[in-house]
Structure 1
Amino acid sequence: MIRRLGYAALLAAMAAPLLLPTDAQAQRRQQMPSREELGQQAPAVQQQQEKTFPLGASWSAVMLNGKPIADRRATLQVDANLRGTGFGGCNTFSASAYPLRQQGFAVGPLALTKRNCDKGQAEFERAYLTALRGTRNWDLVDGKLVLKGAAGELRFDRGF
């Protein structure tokens, strides 16, 4: 027991100088006036209000990777059960769709119907679903839903 107390006392004696400020540190603290002394107020910390993902809203794709979607139709809806459903241009799809903190977004594996489509529809659908599956972030900008990820960017207008 005495030996343990001896080690504890030795460690405390060795650590004490490390915890105390040096003369130079103490002088710097004394030399620096506070904001109040300078007549300035500390800036108010502004916290951004976390946006809420619009669950239950229907969305129609209007842009894919910066290009307008004029001759194709693609949709998305995320319900309160975090199930994403929609139309990809040829087939309907469903997947888990999770709005996350700090406007993150995750889309699980997609389940698709197996309709035969022409080549143009199939290529558009593949690009749309690839961008949707790769989504990492979402935002609402001027009433439009914007989904961004490594595979591209999708912009949606509210649908009916």
Structure 2
Amino acid sequence: MNAGKTIMIRRLGLAAVLATLAVPMLMPGEAMAQRRQQMPSREELGGGTTAIPLPQQEKTFPLGASWSVVAMNGKPVQDRRATLIVDQNLRGTGFGGCNTFSASAYPLRQQGFAVGPIAITKRSCDKGTLDFEKAFLMALRATNKWDLVNGRLVLKGGAGELTLSRSL
């Protein structure tokens, strides 16, 4: 019987500890009131005229627009041509400088971007054009973020940054 009392006391001790931990969780209104009291008033912050920043509005990816590369990794592209269009079916197509390509292209929330495996034609071109095309397609495939900056589409990822301008 003595062993039974010891087990009961241990259980009561555990129950008391759990109840002590659970009480603050059961009274969220009181905890919130305490947090609010600790925050400074508008007057303390500067007379109540402090501007409250608005959340940034989510941008919409420009589906169906035709884009041409104007810069790669911050360097202007002058004598090369590469294009990209992402259509309503989330299919990215374009010209890499020598070959045409297509791939799945998904604009995501918070200006994320994902490009699937790229299918490409197999034309032969000079080495400089093929090197440019390879760098362009690698940067495109590795893209994970996009933005519109001064009317230009900027694609960023682990293999570099592409800046594209609207084209016809």
Question: Which category of TM-score, normalised to the shorter sequence, fits these structures?
Answer: 0.7 to 0.9
Return the offset for 1:13. 3.0
Identify the match of residue 151 of structure 2 among 115, 119, 143: 143
Match of 2:110 in 1: 102
Identify the match of residue 21 of structure 2 among 18, 31, 34: 18
In structure 2, list runs of 5 or more residues that go unmatched.
1-8, 25-30
* d(CA) in 1 for partners of 2:97, 2:125: 9
Return the offset for 1:9. 7.0
Identify the match of residue 69 of structure 1 among 77, 81, 104: 77
Matches within 5 A, 1:83-98: 83-98=91-106
Q: Percent identity?
A: 64
Q: TM-score, normalised by structure 2?
A: 0.77
1:65 counterpart letter in structure 2:
N
Classify the secondary structure of the residue corresponding to 1:18: helix
Q: Provide the aligned length of Structure 1 versus Structure 2.
A: 150
Match of 1:78 in 2: 86
CA separation of 1:133 and 1:16: change in aligned 2, threshold 3 A: same
Classify the secondary structure of the residue corresponding to 1:59: strand
In structure 1, list runs of 5 or more residues that go unmatched.
1-5
**Contact kept? 1:58, 1:76, Cα under 8 Å:** yes
Please report the RMSD computed on the Cα atoms of aligned residues, expressed in angstroms.
2.9
Q: TM-score, normalised by structure 1?
A: 0.81
**Contact kept? 1:131, 1:152, Cα under 8 Å:** yes
Identify the match of residue 48 of structure 1 among 36, 53, 56: 56
Classify the secondary structure of the residue corresponding to 2:122: coil
Classify the secondary structure of the residue corresponding to 1:80: coil
**Contact kept? 1:91, 1:115, Cα under 8 Å:** yes
* d(CA) in 1 for partners of 2:11, 2:50: 43
Classify the secondary structure of the residue corresponding to 1:97: strand
